[in-house]
Amino acid sequence: MDDALRFSGIIKVLVRHGVDFILVGGVAAILEGAPVSTFDVDVVVPREDDRKRLLAALQELNARYLDPAGRHIVPDLVKLDSLRMNRLVTDLGHLDVLTSIGNGLSYSDLVGETETYEVDGSPIRTLKLAMIIRSKEEANREKDRAVLPILKRTLLLKQGRKESY
């Protein structure tokens, strides 16, 4: 974890550069009302999308790959086109740029399962809680399993209250 993490700052830069993305993971769960914590921003981008806007946004964020060996490796069009998971460190915190989540759920699989929230004046396409739960069940990592009970309880209470949050 770096000494800076600005959720809305990262989102703002992506929006300003016109990057097409779906907010997923912990920040999406928080926007959906789940009282969970997270230390990164996860987004899914279309596989076939033009990566130039994304690259420009990542350059503004001073993004480099998270590398246990400490090497300074910056994203480029080839890497962004070929890697399913880009785990990046930026000046505003950790950012994961993905082309799929769970068992290969891609942007086109997810886009119909989103809710749009206005974050600092910009509409942000956000994965719905039910789909976040599904993706975490499919990923089935220990950290995903740990958060599932509270995500499921939040979904149940949201549905029980029949309110549009």
Partner 1 sequence: MESLECYYGAVMSKTGETAPSPGQDDSAAVPFEPWSPGPGEDDDPLIFWMLSLTPNQRLEVAQDFVDSILALRRGRRT
Given candidates 141, 143, 161, 162, which one binds partner 1 under the rule CB under 8 A?
161
Identified binder of partner 1 from the candidate list 1, 70, 112, 141, rule CB under 8 A: 1
Eight-class DSSP state of 110: H
Do 117 and 126 contact (CB within 8 A), yes or no?
A: yes
Q: Work out how close the CB of 35 gets to partner 1 at its nearest, in angstroms, rounded to a whole number.
A: 4
Measured distance CA(82)–CA(37) in Å, rounded: 30
Position 122 contacts partner 1 (CB under 8 A): no
Work out whether 162 is an interface residue with partner 1 (CB under 8 A): no
Q: Between residue 20 and residue 39, which ones bind partner 1 under the rule CB under 8 A?
A: 26-27, 30-31, 33-35, 37-39
* CB closer to partner 1, 68 vs 121: 121
- Scanning 43-51, 105-113, 114-122, 137-145 for contacts with partner 1 by CB under 8 A, the matching segment is 114-122
The answer to whether 45 and 97 are in contact (CB under 8 A) is yes
| In the chain, alpha helices (H) | 7-16, 25-31, 51-60, 77-82, 107-110, 129-139, 142-161
Binding of partner 1 by 53 (CB under 8 A): no
Strand-pair category, 93-98 with 40-44: parallel
Neighbours of 162 (CB within 10 A): 6
| Footprint of partner 1 (CB under 8 A) | 1, 3-8, 26-27, 30-31, 33-35, 37-39, 117-120, 149-150, 153-154, 157-158, 161, 163, 165
